Amino acid sequence: MIPAFMDSHLKTGTNLGRYEIRSKIGAGGMGVVYRAEDTQLRRPVALKILPPEVAVDSVRMWRFHQEAQAAAALNHPNIAHIYEVSEYNGTHFIAMEFVDGYTLGELIHSGQTDLSKLLRYLQHTADGLAKAHAVGIIHRDLKPDNIMVTRDGHTKILDFGLAKLVEPLETSVVDSDVATVILRQHSTPGTVVGTVGYMSPEQARGKTDQLDSRSDIFSFGCILFEAVTGRKAFEGADAIDTLNKIIREPAPPISDFRSDLPNHLQRIVRRCLAKDVEDRYQTIKDVAIELKELRKELGATAGIDTTVPPSTRGSEIRTSAASPSTAPITASSSAEYIVTGIKKHKVIFALILIASVVAGIGLYLHFRTTSVTIDSIAVLPFQNRSAEPDTEYLSDGLSESLIYRLSQLPNLKVSPTSSVFHYKGKEIDPIKVGEELGVNAVLSGRIVEHGDNLTISAELVDVRDNKLLWGEQYERKISELLVVQREIAREIVDVLKLKVSGEEPGLAKHYTESSEAYQLYLKGRFYWNQRSEEGLQKALAYFQQAIERDPNFALAYSGLADTLYLMGAVETGGDMPPSDVLPKAKAAALKAIELDPTLAEPHVSLGHAKAFGDRDWAGAESELKKAIELNPNYSVAHHWYAIYLTTVARQDEALSEIRRAMELDTLSLSINIWFGRILGAAGHTVEGLEQTRKTAELFPSSTQAHYRLGLAYEEQGMLEQALSEFEQVSKLPGGTRLGLSGRAHVYAVMGKREEAEKDLNTLLQSSKEHYVTPLFIAMIYVALGNKDKAFQWLDEAEKVHDLNTYRIKQDFRSQSIRSDPRFAKLIKRLGIP
């Protein structure tokens, strides 16, 4: 008979305090399980309704509350959290984390989950158990149905601490080997000693007072055996026979079922399943380490199993409710069972109806090979799953650092940061991303911060056939972030079987030994990528702090040089005269090169500083070429070399370089903008306009994109469209001065002098508090016909090394003053070849 409490059914919409019932999930020896909604915190939960007979047992409930409180304090990504144990109108329940996914048992017997994935899930299970064991909590009822794998591949252990609720209060020993556990309806209803097939020998003997973490290790060994072979380690004719095997007989060698597996795996299983607790692994952490080493040995690590097993397709999401094949030992609602000494000649009691064992499904190691080499990869922005938003620099920084390390490999194309960050915060389809970026493989991941600890998950997909190549989860301290990056990069290279030359300095290189300095560097890059006035100021501060922590940190100096350069570029968020920042950028770049001559980045910054700060054009070209030589796949080097070439009017070469930059970084805002500008400068005005229009559509919130589109419209005489774009720029964050300058010029060209002068005066007033590029003001005066004022401001632009002044010969707005002798003198002072 089914216990009365299992017959009851709470209807959808029923409230237990703040929890609203949504659907019934299942039932087991612990009670009925429902999916519910926490109406206060707006999150799904799993509610276990405790049997009334258990709930009224004050001694048992007190013991359980003590255990549940300790279990609820566990904070680990591989442990399903217990939120609270509570009561409402006489109904006792446990509110737990709702886990959306599949039980490990379902995955083991689905026939669709390869062994490498199962070993990964079990490694993470061991990591979770290690956390609990470290604080003195043991599970007591570990089994495949108490381990969930979420739909995005995370392992969660269910029901920590719940076994205490139904642990027997009394045992009596009838012989030296086996305890007699008396289960009476009126004294200990719902009693659970463990689950047949997964108990440790000490549990099977009823020695519950002697259980420690090594009992969980035995249960873990049973699960590992089942994952490897598709069969249970101990399987008798009935429950009594199975318990007898657990106590007296060794598990069969896994080689009886799988002859292709290494001896290392047999040894792990055998040690977990040792009858004597002293012969087992003494800590589950040791098992986790062994499994990780084993997975490396097998050479076929894998991650998320995205295929829904046939046994669960279209069914309710499973929780820890027991399935028939793993039914716990429980008391019936109408009978009393006495399990006495378990010996072959003893009478077999009908304790539980054991379901027919599912035939072992042959699993196989999936050694992934590719007929076509993976030669390109995109590292997508890692998702920040932390509660605090100010930790986003960690997720962004990890992505950028992996991009940087992998881009050091000469025969691997790596999509740069500016391309992949286009996908930040969006739902990701790896196949679509691969097509858009033109890569063979896509790496994605998540990062969660728990105090000083990090959980990092990563998956690598071959997008050509939607095949998962690799997946891993790392538990590290924040201080170990540098180590994790090197591990992930190294493992990706191993999976892709890349033939890399030498010692792969980019992968294993220690850029700094200071974790604090590195975190400051990541924060600097995070804000540098925002390309805003506020972001650049924050980036500057963080790079300087990183250098203070480690004066020999070359990457921090390189970041400082990049930031200082952009601070003199108004269109990209700068707010300082270039003459103030270019010398500092040059000094930072030189220091970076002194500390690490192999870095390509500082050579690019140095090249720009030499060109636009020193007007050393030959020296600038040499630095830019050196950067490309050091890293031929560094898109910024090709991009900035193209800017140099268009400035010195070598337009065909400039087009070639900007096209190469586009190949390397298809979704870079700046490269797309400059592609349009260089097309126009090379005489391809229609194509240039179309490219600029596409860029504005691709980056609708970019002031720079809309400003350049406005100029492109104006050059083609499309003044109304130009005015509309400049109006839009003015409304975007940080675009007021940029939009004003463009609008004033268009008004002047349209003959609307009053409107033009009004905007000009506003701009002049603003220049008293903020840096406004003198060239913008000069061009407005040119359009108004005031050449004297125009040249006064052009002289000022030349003195402060205004970056746009160097391209004035290609600027359509200077057409009417090019015949003026003062224009030729200006060009001579600029020293452009």
Cβ neighbours of residue 59 closer than 8 Å, sequence gap 6 or more: 169
The two three-digit tokens of residue 282, written as one number: 């003494």
Match 């046939």 to its residue by tokens: 310
* CB contact at 8 A, 719 and 712: no
Cβ neighbours of residue 805 closer than 8 Å, sequence gap 6 or more: 774, 775, 794, 797, 798, 826, 830
What's 250's DSSP letter? P
Q: Is 24 exposed, middle or buried (0-12, 13-18, 19+ CB in 10 A)?
A: middle
**Beta strands 383-384 and 441-450: pairing type?**
parallel
Number of alpha carbons in the 13 Å side-chain half-sphere of residue 52: 11
* CB contact at 8 A, 414 and 498: no
CA distance 692 to 681: 13
CA distance 619 to 628: 15
CB atoms closer than 10 angstroms to residue 218: 25
CA distance 268 to 254: 11
- The secondary element (H helix, E strand) that includes residue 35 is strand 31-38
* CB contact at 8 A, 206 and 180: yes
Q: Which of 391, 445, 457 is nearest to 420 (CA)?
A: 445
The two three-digit tokens of residue 393, written as one number: 């620099």
Cβ neighbours of residue 558 closer than 8 Å, sequence gap 6 or more: 588, 589, 592, 599, 601, 602, 605
3-state secondary structure at position 289: helix
**Where are the strands (E) in 89-240, listed by range?**
91-97, 101-103, 147-150, 155-157, 172-173, 179-183
* CB contact at 8 A, 748 and 780: yes
CA distance 191 to 823: 96
- The DSSP secondary structure of 580-622, one letter per residue, reads HHHHHHHHHHHHHHHH-TT-SHHHHHHHHIIIIII--HHHHHH
Residue 606 amino acid letter: L
- The DSSP secondary structure of 412-455, one letter per residue, reads -EE--HHHHGGGTTS---HHHHHHHHT-SEEEEEEEEEETTEEE
What value does the CA radius of gyration of the chain take, rounded to a whole number of Å? Answer: 34
3-state secondary structure at position 577: coil
- The secondary element (H helix, E strand) that includes residue 625 is helix 617-630
- The secondary element (H helix, E strand) that includes residue 782 is helix 774-784
As annotated, the active-site residues are: 141
CA distance 648 to 738: 25
What's 330's DSSP letter? -
3-state secondary structure at position 541: helix
CA distance 323 to 315: 14
CA distance 159 to 146: 7
* CB contact at 8 A, 242 and 248: no
CB atoms closer than 10 angstroms to residue 672: 26
3-state secondary structure at position 519: helix
Angle of the 703-715 helix axis to the 669-681 helix axis, nearest 10: 10
